[in-house]
Amino acid sequence: MQTLVLKGKEAIEKGARLIASGEVVAFPTETVYGLGADAFNEAAVKKIFIAKGRPSDNPLIVHIADKNGLQGLVTDVSEGAKAVIEKFMPGPITVIMKKGKDVPYCVTAGLETVGIRMPSHEVAREFIRACGKPIAAPSANKSTHISPTSAEHVFEDMNGAIPLIIDGGECEVGIESTIIDMSTDVPTILRPGAITAEMLAGVLGAVKTFSGKVVVAKAPGMKYKHYAPRCETVVAEDAESAIKAYDDASEKGLNPVVIAKTGTCALLGGRTHIDLGNTDAEICRNIYAALHRGEKIAGYIICEHLGDKGVCGSVMNRVLKSAGGKIV
Ligand code: TXA
Ligand code: MG
């Protein structure tokens, strides 16, 4: 199959036609690129799992263009869920609620709940509107690989497997949406993101954060390998340990690279590095592109520990998974 990469009105019109004919289409959102299909078309949804190589017990998020789109998708919406939707949608958040009867079980992987997301990206919203249907979509990477934040990243993973990539430039946020489970009595964050626990607690009073120590993960996808570059990746506690890890790896002929904040990059001498920027927003926006670039130019990635608080905490949630938890 030939994979087209198109922009603008032409891309959206072609994308909507492909969705209507039961195909899958990659599209930009403010978080990462998604791989979409008509959420009501089971055969089309199955194609997503095949293109990604994704296990079928890992549910998909359903994307809508505006609040009317919620109709029929969810039921028993709590006051808390309404408040979160009101405050943070459209934006980088997915809200898990009891599913409506129209949502097929192949989307929810047999669960009675469904994750709903309303992207703020204009191209995403125009595309979903043009489709006239809710769009089921995971991130547009091959299963276990790094999520894509540009059309080029999607092309690298999906060339030949899907008919169209809608190119909307680079993703503004850069990591996947925060997932909050509002289907239970205590709202629980299943995946941290740019909407932080502090921001959600401001609306809900209290939220439970995902500790990582829970043995049976509630977000089914969390038990799988995730965000993995194709070469070994480690996290360095500070600049000094990054330099030491780099020099050790160099000696072994591993061709290392350091991914770090601008301030740390200045301390690295002539060592190969990728600069993430300095602010939380820059670091979040640049992290996946840095990992994609790292696996291309190097054989060993050392990422600086970026901190535990706020958005950097959400970024480190991904980086530690990329590194399989290895800290040097
Ligand atoms: O930012 C995002 O959320 C991107 C863009 C494309 O919208 N999408 C995304 O989808 O990251 P995906 O499939 O790569 O990650 C969704 C995660 C998976 O770990 C899945 O297990 C979990 O959400 N999930 C989906 N539905 C769920 C449900 N009903 N209950 C618990 N977890 C759910
Ligand atoms: Mg994903």
Structural domains for the chain: 4-209 (3.90.870.10), 232-322 (3.40.50.11030)
Q: How far apart are CA 93 and CA 172, in angstroms?
A: 14
Q: Are 125 and 139 in contact (CB under 8 A)?
A: no
Task: Kindly report, residue by residue over 250-275, the tens digit of the pLDDT.
Answer: 999 999 999 999 999 999 999 999 99
What mean pLDDT do residues 48-63 have? 96
Q: How far apart are CA 115 and CA 95, in angstroms?
A: 5
Name every protein residue with a CB atom under 6 angstroms from any ligand 1 atom.
Answer: 29, 31-32, 34, 58-61, 94, 96, 108, 111, 113-115, 117, 137-139, 176-177, 179, 190, 218-222
Pull the structure tokens for residue 14: 């072609």
pTM: predicted TM-score of the whole model, two decimal places: 0.87
Give residue 220's pLDDT. 63
Mean pLDDT of the chain: 94
Q: Whose CA is nearest to atom 20 of ligand 1?
A: 221
Q: Whose CA is nearest to atom 31 of ligand 1?
A: 219
Could you tell me which residues come within 8 angstroms of residue 134 by beta carbon, excluding any fewer than 6 positions away? 38, 39, 40, 62, 63, 64, 69, 73, 128
| Residue recorded with tokens 């980086």 | 319
Q: What is the 91 CA–ligand 2 centroid distance (Å)?
A: 17
Give residue 213's pLDDT. 34
Is the preceding peptide bond at 90 cis, omega within 30 degrees of 0? yes
Q: Whose CA is nearest to atom 13 of ligand 1?
A: 138
Give residue 212's pLDDT. 42
Q: Which of 35, 94, 154, 318 to mutate to test the pocket of ligand 1 (most atoms within 8 A of CB)?
A: 94
Q: Whose CA is nearest to atom 30 of ligand 1?
A: 219
| Residue 38 β-bridge partners | 135
Q: What is the 139 CA–ligand 2 centroid distance (Å)?
A: 4
Q: What is the 138 CA–ligand 2 centroid distance (Å)?
A: 6
Give residue 295's pLDDT. 97
Atom of ligand 1 nearest to the CA of 177: 1
Task: Kindly report, residue by residue over 149-208, the tens digit of the pLDDT.
Answer: 999 999 999 999 999 999 999 999 999 999 999 998 888 999 999 998 888 888 888 788
Give residue 223's pLDDT. 63
What mean pLDDT do residues 51-74 have? 95
Q: How far apart are CA 141 and CA 165, in angstroms?
A: 12
| Model confidence band, residue 215 (pLDDT cutoffs 50, 70, 90) | very low
Give residue 214's pLDDT. 34
Q: What is the 21 CA–ligand 1 centroid distance (Å)?
A: 24
Q: Are 183 and 77 in contact (CB under 8 A)?
A: no
Give residue 217's pLDDT. 37
Q: What is the 176 CA–ligand 2 centroid distance (Å)?
A: 8
Pull the structure tokens for residue 203: 């609306």
Q: Whose CA is nearest to atom 15 of ligand 1?
A: 138
Q: Whose CA is nearest to atom 6 of ligand 1?
A: 34
Atom of ligand 1 nearest to the CA of 218: 31
Give residue 203's pLDDT. 85
Q: Look at residue 75 and tell me whether its pLDDT is greater than 80.
A: yes
| Model confidence band, residue 221 (pLDDT cutoffs 50, 70, 90) | low
Q: Look at residue 283 and tell me whether its pLDDT is greater than 90.
A: yes
Q: What is the 121 CA–ligand 2 centroid distance (Å)?
A: 18
Give residue 219's pLDDT. 59
Task: Kindly report, residue by residue over 85-132, the tens digit of the pLDDT.
Answer: 999 999 999 999 999 999 999 999 999 999 999 999 999 999 999 999
| Model confidence band, residue 282 (pLDDT cutoffs 50, 70, 90) | very high
